[in-house]
Structure 1
Amino acid sequence: MKYYTVAMTFIIFDVEIMFLVPWAVYFDQLQWFGFFAVVLFLFNITIAYAYEWRRGGLDWD
């Protein structure tokens, strides 16, 4: 079960990077809406990361 939890965590944070790359490329064209959209996105991902960390999903024991 631990393998699947680690695999799902990797997939979730890998998809996060795939959403951030286009944002970084077009950052100057998105203006304030793009900035606030990414801040909201990163806030949501941070909550998921903190939840995973607190549950012990990132421990390699």
Structure 2
Amino acid sequence: MLPLLFVAILLCIGGHFILQPSYQDSSIAEYSLAALPFILFAIVIIAIKMAIKAEQKDP
């Protein structure tokens, strides 16, 4: 789960980096910022599935 945490941290940092005024006119920046919450939500779902799988392995 630690790699998922690092990916989520990098996405948050990248999102703040894209919010800089120099990227305001870029449509790619707009689309990536709009997709960011959905990507983070997908990471949460993957982490929950991994936790369920790990819980079932332990007796």
Q: For this structure pair, what is the TM-score category when the shorter chain's length is used for normalisation?
A: 0.5 to 0.7
- Structure showing greater Rg: 2
Identity %: 2
Determine the C-alpha separation between the residues in 1 that align with 2:46 and 2:2.
Answer: 15
TM-score, length of structure 1 as denominator length: 0.55
TM-score, length of structure 2 as denominator length: 0.56
How many pairs does the alignment contain?
Answer: 45
Given the alignment, which residue of 14, 34, 37 partners 2:36?
Answer: 34
Within 5 Å, which residues of 2 pair with 1:1-61?
Answer: 13-27=1-15, 29=18, 30-56=32-58
Unaligned runs of 5+ in 2: 19-31
Q: CA RMSD in A?
A: 2.0
8 Å Cα contact 2:15-2:36 kept in structure 1: yes
Unaligned runs of 5+ in 1: 1-12
